[in-house]
């Protein structure tokens, strides 16, 4: 069966629906235009209070772009990405058609099982070789990953306490979170109860408090076996945020392949003072895009369920 370029690009955009995004806002829109696939950010689903500059919106779009490329490869196509300054954020061109190789198909399967895990991490620390694999994955994806040492984890715990508190005291931010968690969010977006812990676990580095208790049994352990890492890079422009999202997706794919769990913690990058503190912690060698908690997946327990997604027709448009 020969699949047309247009169909392959539409299938790639469909694969991108699985990408992670801040509060599951899915702030992307794809336009399939002949042999081009265009990626746009959707300002209607931007978090105006928590993400006024659109960093996390564009980062989420970058994760979707990476998913689209993995989807394309799984169908036997290789994608070339054009990155215009401005709109669209990216244009994908499908270049040649080979029989899909098993490695490319496996990568797509990994993205299908990937999910955010807010349960307490298991007692098994993430092995050094897996941590290194994640550092390498970030670089492949176009950013860098710094795994924090013990002192830096304690500094992070303080930063997150400060950013979390500042957000709890900001009525508009609280209201914004409430619209994506429960609330009257568009169907197919936001966080269902089933992925939110019933009780916030007692950890050194706090998880995000969504202001509601869900139905996820998070476990009674601690986070002593967790690793924490900062995804960072050279610039603080939309092009860098897009790359950061691609890197996040590549890191998460590698984590899933290696039995590691990932929980993004974005509150410290949402506020200027903690974002600067993270930058100082990196020795001013780069700009912090996102904090990640890494753990070892517990093989005896299935992970939390998948969050819903917007239907394809709301995020993909085919133009003749």
Ligand X SMILES: Cc1cc2nc3c(=O)[nH]c(=O)nc-3n(C[C@H](O)[C@H](O)[C@H](O)COP(=O)(O)O)c2cc1C
Work out how close the CB of 5 gets to ligand X at its nearest, in angstroms, rounded to a whole number.
28
- The CA dihedral of 62, 63, 64, 66, to the nearest 10 degrees, is 90
Work out how close the CB of 309 gets to ligand X at its nearest, in angstroms, rounded to a whole number.
8
Which of 59-67, 136-144, 232-240, 271-279 is the region at the interface with ligand X (rule: CB under 6 A)?
A: 59-67
Residue nearest to ligand X (CB): 20
**DSSP string over 84-147:** -SSSSSEEEEEEEE-PPPHHHHHHHHHHHH-----SPP-SSPPPHHHHHHHHHHHHHHTSEEEE
Work out how close the CB of 44 gets to ligand X at its nearest, in angstroms, rounded to a whole number.
17
Work out how close the CB of 87 gets to ligand X at its nearest, in angstroms, rounded to a whole number.
20
DSSP summary character for residue 271: S
Q: Cis omega before residue 88 (within 30°)?
A: yes
Interface of this chain with ligand X, residues 229 to 268, rule: CB under 6 A? 263-267
Among 8, 10, 23, 79, binds ligand X (CB under 6 A): 23
Residues in the chain: 320
Among 32, 39, 56, 126, binds ligand X (CB under 6 A): 56
- Contact by Cβ (8 Å): 248, 110: no
Among 74, 307, 310, 315, binds ligand X (CB under 6 A): 307
Among 11, 59, 260, 315, binds ligand X (CB under 6 A): 59
Asked if 292 touches ligand X (CB under 6 A), the answer is no
Q: What are phi and psi of 126, to 5 degrees?
A: -70, 120
Asked if 118 touches ligand X (CB under 6 A), the answer is yes
Q: Closer to ligand X at the Cβ: 254 or 266? A: 266
Distance, CA of 200 to CA of 214 (rounded, Å)? 10
Distances (CA, A) of 136 to 4, 117, 180: 34, 22, 33
Among 10, 15, 21, 77, binds ligand X (CB under 6 A): 21
Q: Other CB atoms closer than 10 Å to residue 235's CB: what's the count?
A: 12
Work out how close the CB of 37 gets to ligand X at its nearest, in angstroms, rounded to a whole number.
20
Among 47, 159, 247, 290, binds ligand X (CB under 6 A): 290
Q: Angle at CA 173, nearest 5°, toward 39 and 272?
A: 75
Number of residues that bind ligand X (CB under 6 A): 21
Interface of this chain with ligand X, residues 164 to 223, rule: CB under 6 A? 191, 208
Q: Which of 209, 185, 189, 190 is nearest to 199 (CA)?
A: 209
Interface of this chain with ligand X, residues 88 to 117, rule: CB under 6 A? 115-116
Residues that bind ligand X (CB under 6 A): 20-24, 56, 59-60, 63, 115-116, 118, 191, 208, 263-267, 290, 307
């Amino acid at each position: 069966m020969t699949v047309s370029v247009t169909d392959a690009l539409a299938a790639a955009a469909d694969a991108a629906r699985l990408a992670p995004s801040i509060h599951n806002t899915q702030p992307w829109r794809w336009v399939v235009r002949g042999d081009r696939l265009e990626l746009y950010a959707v300002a209607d689903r931007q978090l105006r209070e928590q993400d006024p500059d659109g960093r996390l919106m564009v980062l989420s779009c970058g994760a979707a772009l990476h998913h689209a490329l993995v989807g394309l490869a799984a169908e036997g196509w290789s994608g070339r990405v054009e990155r215009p300054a401005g709109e669209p954020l990216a244009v994908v061109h499908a270049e040649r058609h080979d029989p899909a190789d098993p490695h490319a198909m496996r990568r797509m399967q990994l993205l299908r099982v990937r999910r955010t895990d807010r349960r307490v991490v298991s007692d098994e620390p993430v092995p050094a070789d897996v941590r290194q694999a994640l550092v390498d994955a970030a670089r492949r994806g176009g950013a860098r990953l710094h795994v924090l040492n013990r002192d830096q984890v304690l500094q992070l715990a303080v930063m997150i306490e400060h950013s979390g508190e500042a957000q709890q005291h900001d009525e508009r931010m609280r209201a914004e979170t409430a619209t994506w968690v429960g609330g009257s969010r568009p169907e197919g977006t936001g966080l269902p109860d089933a992925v939110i812990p019933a009780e916030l676990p007692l950890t050194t580095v706090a998880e995000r408090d969504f202001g509601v208790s869900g139905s996820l049994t998070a476990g009674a352990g601690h986070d002593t076996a967790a690793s924490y890492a900062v995804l960072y890079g050279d610039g603080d422009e939309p092009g860098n945020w897009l790359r950061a999202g691609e890197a996040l997706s590549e890191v998460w794919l590698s984590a899933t392949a290696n039995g590691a769990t990932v929980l993004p913690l974005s509150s410290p990058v949402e506020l200027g003072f903690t974002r600067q503190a993270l930058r100082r912690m990196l020795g001013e060698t780069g700009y912090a895009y996102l904090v990640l908690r890494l753990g070892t997946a517990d093989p005896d327990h299935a992970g939390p369920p998948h969050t819903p997604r917007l239907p394809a027709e709301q995020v993909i448009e085919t133009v003749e």
